[in-house]
């Protein structure tokens, strides 16, 4: 499967992902971001517009930026009140000081090259006193990171963060007054994640096998439960926000 085919398959199934559609996680992230009614907001890596759709109910304006035409086609059809722009997080097509808030839910792990440039761009497009709010999936403890990396390496090229990595990224980019929070989604279906991932069947089967054959520490850390044809895990997310001085 080439990258264009993978992108199309992923876009078509993204809104079927249990974790991505979880209202508690979506609304919890927006609450954490501290949105205000007069805010102008950038949803970075907007995908199909799941975050943008809910943010527009709370603020003055939302713009969604993504580098996937397939994702943006779905986002534009389903979210007429939001402006969507095709572009690169590392070279944003916006003037300095355009936004009060930048939201970055599950985007930074995709930036395997130029992540620091993206953070610099986030700071550039924010107004003084504006806020960057980030959320990423993280291993439940450092000890299972090697197994976490091995599983995700089969799915896609990506970065793996621990909570301190994300906080350090914002600090080095010049953000201040950091606030952090954990979010746990219980009993998430691994099969749902795999079947809506856009991955070929043989990759899905191998990832499921790695869960089944994982270490006792991995099973305990994820509170992994086996069912007849699935396994359920507790997904762990870390949220961090910082202000532009």
**Phi and psi angles of residue 57, each rounded to the nearest 5 degrees, phi first:** -75, -15
DSSP the chain: --HHHHHHHHHHHGGG-HHHH-HHHHHHHHHHHT--TT-EEEEET-TTTHHHHHHTTTSSEEEEEES-HHHHHHHHHH-TTSEEEE-BTTB-SS-TT-EEEEEEES-GGG-SS-HHHHHHHHHHHEEEEEEEEEEEE--SSGGGHHHHHHHHHHH-------HHHHHHHHHHTT-EEEEEEEEEEEEEEHHHHHHTS---HHHHHHHHHHHHT--HHHHHHTT-EE-SS-EEEEEEEEEEEEE--
CA angle centred on 75, ends 74 and 80, rounded to 5°: 115
Domain-located, residue 218? no
Looking at residue 8, what is its pLDDT? 82
Structure tokens that stand for 105 in this block:
């839910």
Output the CA–CA distances (angstroms, integers) from residue 185 to 21, 23, 26, 155, 235, in the order listed: 11, 11, 11, 21, 5
CATH of the domain at 48: 3.40.50.150
Domain-located, residue 71? yes
Residue 6 pLDDT greater than 90, yes or no:
no
Q: Cα separation of 135 and 173, whole Å?
A: 16
Domain-located, residue 37? yes
Domain-located, residue 213? no
Question: How confident is residue 222, by pLDDT bands cut at 50, 70 and 90?
Answer: very high
The model's pLDDT over 229-238, given as tens digits with 9 standing for 90+, comes to: 999 999 999 9
Provide the number of structural domains found in the chain. 1
Domain-located, residue 161? yes
Looking at residue 10, what is its pLDDT? 86
Domain-located, residue 200? no
Domain carrying residue 166: 3-140+157-186+235-243
Looking at residue 7, what is its pLDDT? 74
| Mean pLDDT of the region 202-206 | 96
Looking at residue 4, what is its pLDDT? 62
Whether residue 157 contacts residue 133, with contact meaning beta carbons closer than 8 Å, is answered with: no
Domain-located, residue 27? yes
The model's pLDDT over 94-109, given as tens digits with 9 standing for 90+, comes to: 999 999 999 999 999 9
């Amino acid at each position: 499967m080439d990258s264009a085919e993978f992108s199309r398959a992923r876009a078509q199934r993204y809104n079927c992902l249990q974790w991505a559609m979880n209202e508690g996680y979506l609304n919890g992230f927006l609450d954490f971001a501290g949105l205000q009614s007069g805010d102008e907001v950038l949803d970075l890596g907007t995908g199909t517009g799941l975050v943008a759709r809910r943010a527009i109910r709370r603020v003055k304006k939302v713009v969604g930026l993504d580098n996937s035409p397939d994702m943006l086609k779905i986002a534009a059809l389903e979210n007429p009140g939001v402006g969507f722009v095709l572009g690169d997080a590392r070279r944003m097509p916006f003037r300095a000081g355009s936004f009060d808030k930048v939201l970055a839910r599950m985007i930074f792990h995709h930036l395997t090259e130029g992540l620091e440039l993206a953070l610099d761009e986030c700071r550039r497009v924010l107004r003084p006193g504006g806020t960057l709010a980030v959320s990423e999936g993280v291993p439940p403890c450092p000890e299972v990171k090697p197994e976490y990396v091995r599983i995700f390496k089969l799915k896609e090229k990506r970065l793996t963060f621990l909570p301190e990595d994300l906080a350090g990224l914002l600090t080095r980019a010049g953000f201040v007054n950091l606030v952090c929070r954990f979010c746990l989604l219980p009993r998430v279906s691994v099969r749902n994640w795999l079947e809506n991932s856009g991955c070929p069947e043989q990759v899905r089967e191998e990832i499921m096998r790695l869960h089944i054959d994982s270490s006792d520490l991995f099973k305990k850390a994820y509170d992994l439960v086996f069912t007849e044809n699935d396994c359920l895990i507790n997904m762990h997310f870390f949220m961090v926000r910082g202000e532009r001085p």
